[in-house]
Structure 1
Amino acid sequence: DVCASFDCRLEEFNGETDHVHLLVSFPPTVELSRLVNSLKGVSSRYLRRDYPELARHYWRAQRLWSPSYYAGTAGGAPLDTLKRYIENQNRPA
C-alpha cells in the first residue's frame, strides 16, 4: 500500500536478521527519503501491533528501525538478476 501511494512497485523483498532488502521501482519524481521513511513508519506500526514480543528488542531506543538506510541503483542490471539476489537472502527471523 505504501508503494502504491507513492506510485511505486515493490519488485522483491527479503532480508536477514538485522536488515531487509527491498527492490523498488519508482518514478524520478519520488523523494527516496520520504518513501523510505514511510515504509519504515508503516511497517513499524504493523510489526509492533502484530508482534508485541518485538518490544524486548527495541524498548530502550523506542524504535524498531535504524534511522539510516542504503539505496543503490540497478545500473542497468537485469531485473531478474536483482530479484534472484534478494530471493537468496535469508528471511528475517
Structure 2
Amino acid sequence: MGKYKKLSHVIYKCEYHIVWVPKYRLRILKGAIRDLVEADIKMLCEWKSCEVQELNVQEDHIHLLVSVPPKVSISKLMGTLKGKIAIKLFKSYPKLKKKPYWGNHFWARGYFVSTVGLDEDMIKKYVKYQEKEERRVEDQQQSFDF
C-alpha cells in the first residue's frame, strides 16, 4: 500500500498526466523562462498539496505527471498553474506582454489530461478474487445460521 496516500478520511491514488502549451505553441519555454516555469509548477503544486512525480518543460509544451488529492479538482489546479505562472512571467519579462500576439494570455486555451490508473488485468483479477472471497464469506456465514 506504499503507492497510496492518506488524508483524514480517505486513502487515494489519483495520478494525472497533464500537457499544455504556450499560445500559438511558440517555442518560448527555454533558458530563464523555462527555469521560472519549472520552479513555479513545483511550488504551486506543493501549495495545492499535490506531488509532482515527473515534470518535463520543453520549448513548446509541458508534460506534468502529478498526484492530486481528491479535494483538489484538476480544472482548479490548471487554472492556478496557468494563471499564476502567466502573471509572474508578464511581471518578470514585460517584453512578453508588448508583443502584439500575446495580449494578456501566455498559455493556449485548454489542456490535455489523462488519468494514470492501475493495470486493467490487475483490476480484473482483483474484482474476480473479491467476488470469490465474498461468496466464501457468505457461505461461511450461512453455515452458522440456524
For residue 73 of structure 1, the aligned residue among 112, 115, 124 is 115
For residue 18 of structure 1, the aligned residue among 52, 57, 60 is 60
- Does 2:76 correspond to 1:37? no
- Does 2:58 correspond to 1:58? no
Which has a greater percent of helix? 2
Partner amino acid, structure 2, of 1:51? Y
Alignment: residue pair count: 75
**Displacement of 1:73 after TM fit?**
1.6
CA distance in 2, matches of 1:27, 1:67: 24
Task: Give ranges in structure 2 of 5+ residues lacking alignment.
Answer: 1-42, 120-146
**Structure 1: which 4+ aligned runs deviate by more than 3 Å?**
none
Could you say if the C-alpha distance between residues 19 and 29 of structure 1 is closer, same or farther in structure 2, counting changes exceeding 3 Å?
Answer: same
Partner amino acid, structure 2, of 1:18? D
Task: Give ranges in structure 1 of 5+ residues lacking alignment.
Answer: 78-93
Report 1 or 2 for greater relative contact order, CA contacts < 8 Å, sequence distance ≥ 6.
1
The normalised TM-score by structure 2 is 0.45
CA distance in 2, matches of 1:76, 1:66: 31
**Displacement of 1:18 after TM fit?**
2.7
CA distance in 2, matches of 1:22, 1:51: 24
Aligned Cα root-mean-square deviation (Å): 1.9
In structure 2, what is the equivalent of residue 6 of structure 1? 48
CA distance in 2, matches of 1:66, 1:76: 31
